Amino acid sequence: MANNNRMLIKGNYAIAEAAIDAGCRFYAGYPITPQNEIPEYMSKRMPEVNGVFMQAESELISINLVFGAAVAGARAMTTSSSPGISLMQEGISYMAGCELPGVIVNVMRGGPGLGNISPSQSDYFQAVKPGHGDYRLIVLAPHNTQEMYDFTFEAFDLADKYRNPVMVLTDGLLGQIMESIELKRKKPELLNQKKEWALTGAKGRKGQRIVSLLMDPGALEKHNFHLQEKYDLIRKQEKRYEKFNITDDTEYLIVAFGTVARVSKGTIKLDKDKRIGLFRPITLFPFPYEELKEVAKNVKKIFVFEMNLGQMLDDVKIAIENSEKIEFYGRPGGGVPTSEELLNFILKRI
Amino acid sequence: MTEKIIIAGSGGQGVLTLGVFIARVGFYEGKKVAWLPTYGAEKRGGFSFCYTVISDDEIFSPVVETPSTLFAFDQRAYDTYKIKIGKETQVIINSSLIKDFDRNNKNIFKVPATELAKDIGFIQGMNIVMFGVYFELKKIFKKESIYEVMKEMLKGKKEEIFSKNKMAFEKGIGYSNNK
C-alpha cells in the first residue's frame, strides 16, 4: 500500500523489496518461520525483474547457490531464520575465505535447537563471532521497518566494496511487523562497478581461480593476514551507532540493539525524570567500542538489555573496563520485553 | 494521540484482517502505525490475536501491554486477555459468543456482532460490525477514510463484497448509537 513515497509494508517484504532495488537478481532460500514472506515475495518479484528465484532443497544448498552466483559476479542473497543459518555456517565461511560478496539475512527466532518461532536475539554470537576459521561478517542490526529496507539495500554495496559477506541480523518481530516507511529509491552505488575478480569465463583474458583451500606452505597464513587487514579497514570505516536522548545530564545508559533498542526508546519516553539515554550499536561488527566507552564515561550505570541471556554484553564489557557499572537484563527463548518492564528493572537497580 | 489496540479471537474470524484494516486507515490518515500479528502455526479455529498501534508520534514498542482498546471476538479471547484490561481500556466484546464477563466494568461494550452480521446475510462481516462500534465510540477516524481503505483492500473483488462490508460497518455504528 503506497501513499506518495510512503508505504505500509511488513518488515520481511521491506527486506525483499530493498534487495530488488539494490540490484539483487539472484535469490535462493528454503522456507522457515518467521521469514517466509521473503521467499514468498521473491518467488513473485524475481521473475518480474528477470532475476532468478531458487527454492533450494535445504539451507546448505541455498548458501552454496549464493556462493555460485557471487563467484560469477552477481548480486545474490539468501535469507533464513536461526536453525537455517546454523546449516549455512560452512558455506558462509567458504564465502568469507574466498572473499565473495553476498547478503545473508537472519530473521532470528528462539533457540537453541529447533526452539520456537518467537522473536529472539540469541544468534548474536553466531553473527559477530561466526563459524570456523578466522573470519568476520559485516553485521547490520535494523530496529524498525525503515531500516529493514535501508540496511538491506546498503548491505549489497558494503558486500561489494569489501568483497565480504554481509549479514542483516534481525528478528521475528521486525520481520512480521507492518509499519510505514519512506521509500527513497536510489541507485546502488557500486552496482555497475566491474568485478575483475569474478569467474566469468576466460575468453580474451588469462584464467583466474577463486579457492578457499590454500595448501602451499605459508599461503593460508598470508591470506589470513590479508583478511585481517580488510577487517581492520572495516573497523575503521564502517562503524555505525545511534545515540538517543544522550545529554550532559544523562545518568543512566541503556545499551541495546534491534527490537530491544526500540522498546528501550519507549522506556526512555516513560521515564519522568528524563535521565536515561540509549546507545544503539547499528553495526554489531564492527562494534563501536570506543564510541560506547566515550558515552559511558560519565554515567552512573549502564543497562544492557537483550533478548538472550547476555551476548552483546561481552562486547559492552570489552568497551567499558569498569564492568561494576554494568547491569544486565535479558529475555531468552522468544520472550520480548515491554518498555514498562525495562523501566521497572532500571528503577529497582538505581 | 496513541491508540493501542489488541484484537483477539479465533482463526477465520478476521482478527488479523481487522488489525491490518485499522492500521491502513491510520496510515491513510497520515498517522504512524504498527501492526504485529501472531504468526506461524495459526489455523482456522486456533487462537489468534494481533496488536495495532496508531499514533501521532513514533511508535517504539509495538507490543501492547495495557491496551486502550481490546476487541474480544469470542469467550476464549476474552478469557485470555481480560488480565490486560486497564482502568482506561475500552473493551468491545462480541456478546453473541461471550456470555461470561465482568458485568461491573462500565468500559465493556457488548455487541451481538455475529447475530448482527447474520441479519445482513454476511456472517464474515462480524469483525467489521465490531469495528463500526469502535469507530463510533472512539471517533478518531473519518468516515471517508474507512470507505477509501475498504475499497483499496477489496480491489478486484465483487462490488457486492464492498457493499456488504459497508452495511456491516453501518450496522455497528447504528447499534452503538441505539444503546
Nearest Cα of chain B lies from the Cα of A289 at a distance, in angstroms, of: 25
Closest by alpha carbon to A315, among A326, A300, A331, A307? A326
Residue B40 has a pLDDT of: 65
Nearest Cα of chain A lies from the Cα of B12 at a distance, in angstroms, of: 19
Please write the tens of the pLDDT for every residue from A259-312: 999 999 999 999 988 899 999 999 999 999 999 999 999 999 999 999 999 999
φ, ψ for residue A232, nearest 5 deg: -65, -40
Residue A98 has a pLDDT of: 98
Q: Could you tell me if A80 and A29 are in contact, meaning their C-beta atoms sit under 8 angstroms apart?
A: yes
Where do the domains of chain A lie?
A: 2-237, 242-349
Residue B39 has a pLDDT of: 76
| Nearest chain B residue to A341, by CA | B65
Q: Tell me which of B5, B24, B36 to substitute to probe the interface with A (most A C-beta atoms closer than 10 Å).
A: B36
Q: Could you tell me if A10 and A177 are in contact, meaning their C-beta atoms sit under 8 angstroms apart?
A: yes
* Superfamily of domain A2-237 in the CATH hierarchy: Thiamin diphosphate (ThDP)-binding fold, Pyr/PP domains (3.40.50.970)
In eight-state DSSP terms, residue A119 is B
Q: Residue B144, class by beta-carbon neighbours within 10 Å (0-12 exposed, 13-18 middle, 19+ buried)?
A: exposed
A263: chain B residues, CB-CB within 8 Å = 60-61, 63
User: B148: which 3 cell numbers?
Assistant: 477509501
For residue B62, say if its preceding peptide bond is cis, omega within 30 degrees of 0: no
Cα Rg of chain B (Å, integer): 15
Alpha helices (runs of H) in chain A, residue ranges in sequence order: 11-21, 37-48, 59-71, 82-97, 124-128, 145-162, 172-176, 219-237, 258-270, 289-296, 312-319, 339-349
Residue B42 has a pLDDT of: 61
| Nearest chain B residue to A335, by CA | B63
Cα–Cα distances in angstroms (integers) from residue A84 to residues A60, A63, A72, A81, in the given order: 8, 10, 24, 5
| Nearest chain A residue to B53, by CA | A179
Handedness of CA B85, B91, B94, B100 (dihedral sign): positive
**pLDDT score of B28 more than 60:** yes
- Facing residue for B60 by CB, picked from A8, A117, A269: A269
Residue A274 has a pLDDT of: 83
In degrees, rounded to 5, the angle at the alpha carbon of residue A188 between the alpha carbons of residues A87 and A288 is: 60
| Nearest chain B residue to A268, by CA | B60
Return the CATH class of domain A242-349: alpha beta
Euclidean distance between CA atoms A66 and A49, whole angstroms: 18
* Superfamily of domain B2-178 in the CATH hierarchy: Pyruvate-ferredoxin oxidoreductase, PFOR, domain III (3.40.920.10)
In degrees, rounded to 5, the angle at the alpha carbon of residue A164 between the alpha carbons of residues A159 and A168 is: 60
Overall average pLDDT of the A133-162 stretch: 98
**pLDDT score of A187 more than 90:** no
Q: Could you tell me if A101 and A112 are in contact, meaning their C-beta atoms sit under 8 angstroms apart?
A: no
Nearest Cα of chain B lies from the Cα of A259 at a distance, in angstroms, of: 8
**pLDDT score of A185 more than 90:** no
In eight-state DSSP terms, residue A297 is T
Place A222 in a pLDDT band, splitting at 50, 70 and 90.
very high
Residue B38 has a pLDDT of: 83
Place A28 in a pLDDT band, splitting at 50, 70 and 90.
very high
Q: Could you tell me if A87 and A59 are in contact, meaning their C-beta atoms sit under 8 angstroms apart?
A: yes
Handedness of CA A170, A176, A181, A185 (dihedral sign): positive
Residue A4 has a pLDDT of: 66
What ipTM did this prediction achieve?
A: 0.92
Average pLDDT, chain A: 96
**pLDDT score of B155 more than 60:** yes
**pLDDT score of B176 more than 60:** yes
> Is B59–A179 a contact, with Cβ atoms under 8 angstroms apart?
yes
> Is B62–A173 a contact, with Cβ atoms under 8 angstroms apart?
yes
Residue A305 has a pLDDT of: 98
| Nearest chain A residue to B19, by CA | A178
Overall average pLDDT of the B49-73 stretch: 94
Residue B46 has a pLDDT of: 86
**pLDDT score of A1 more than 60:** no
B35: chain A residues, CB-CB within 8 Å = 177-179
B32: chain A residues, CB-CB within 8 Å = 179-180
Report strand pairing: B2-10 vs A283-285. unpaired
Query: How many whole angstroms from its chain centre is CA B35?
Result: 13
Same fold for the pair A2-237 and A242-349: yes
B61: chain A residues, CB-CB within 8 Å = 262-263, 266, 338-339
